[in-house]
Chains A and B, each alone.
Chain A
């Protein structure tokens, strides 16, 4: 059966969305205080992108613009939250996130190698902590530790991972 124009439009959108999804998630995450906020904004932005998609335009530029607008609108409802940064800083972080897009993509690729370098218990812990629906207090209780000590352990693992990906990229650039 021949694909219809609608199918081709749909497939073209999915290809472009999949290509830029990780960069969009980082961009949205940089503008918002929590993962939950970022997840909501990302879902809303994806719906808007799909509804208004025209394959002729520069998808990446357009998608970042849509995501920025959705994120700023989301933040307007939370202006009284002291954890929300002011508009000037949010926009500056958004601009710099776009400028650092290639570096972040390289870091995401390097992360796989760095995760493999972690000792198995630490790798299992960090992946469990990032599994959707995981509650940190329950995870801490399962491991027989306090939530605070679990957070501190995760901080050390994340810092080690970040240093690893930064070092990996620096080495790749050097060679």
Chain B
């Protein structure tokens, strides 16, 4: 490969080539597959040297340019989300402030005493012993429940 093209490709990748040089390079690249391979090798070298330069900077300073991609978390909520939350909070405050008036005006309050009484009745019914299928004397444990007989 002619030294001339090494020079021209490098001038092009540095952004130094004139309009005439760029046109000549384009014409030569369109015709010559070997020259295209050289051009692509130089472009690859350019990218690799960029990465090496960056790595050297990171090693020196401990900092560098890193591509970051945001994680898909709650941070991705729309930016107007805080305003919606604030509005909802205000609306809730207003509703709570109005609630006592409604409670005083309501005629359909449940009768708490009746509910308590009904509940107590239900509990009392549940606490009744279930009817036995056998007479008391047939129970093997009935004698244990009888008061002890003290011999006279």
Which residues of A are in contact with B by a Cβ distance under 8 Å?
6-7, 9-10, 13-14, 17, 21-22, 25-26, 29-30, 33-35, 38, 46, 50, 82-83, 85-86, 88-89, 92-93, 96-97, 100, 104, 107-108, 111-112, 115, 126-132, 151, 154-155, 158-159, 161-162, 165-166
Contact = CB atoms under 8 A, between A and B. Distances in A.
Contacts of A46: 67, 69
Nearest to A11: B71
Q: Sort chain B's interface into a size bin.
A: 35 or more
Interface string B37-52: 1011111111111111
B14 interface: yes
Contact of A83 (B10, B17, B43, B44): B17
30 contacts: A7-B71, A10-B72, A26-B43, A30-B40, A33-B15, A35-B15, A82-B22, A83-B19, A92-B30, A92-B36, A93-B36, A93-B39, A96-B40, A100-B44, A111-B48, A127-B52, A128-B53, A130-B52, A131-B54, A131-B56, A131-B57, A132-B54, A132-B57, A154-B10, A155-B6, A155-B10, A158-B10, A158-B42, A158-B45, A162-B42
A108 B72 contact: no
B45 A162 contact: yes
A6 B7 CA distance: 49
Which 5 pairs, one residue from A and one from B, show the smallest C-beta to C-beta distance? A130-B53, A6-B72, A104-B44, A82-B19, A108-B48
Contacts of B7: 155
Contacts of A97: 40, 43
Contacts of A86: 26
Contact of A132 (B30, B44, B53, B72): B53
Contacts of A161: 45, 49
Given A38-B47, A159-B10, 16 more contacts: A30-B43, A33-B15, A34-B15, A35-B46, A46-B67, A46-B69, A88-B30, A93-B39, A96-B37, A107-B45, A108-B51, A130-B50, A130-B53, A132-B53, A132-B65, A162-B41
B71 A83 contact: no
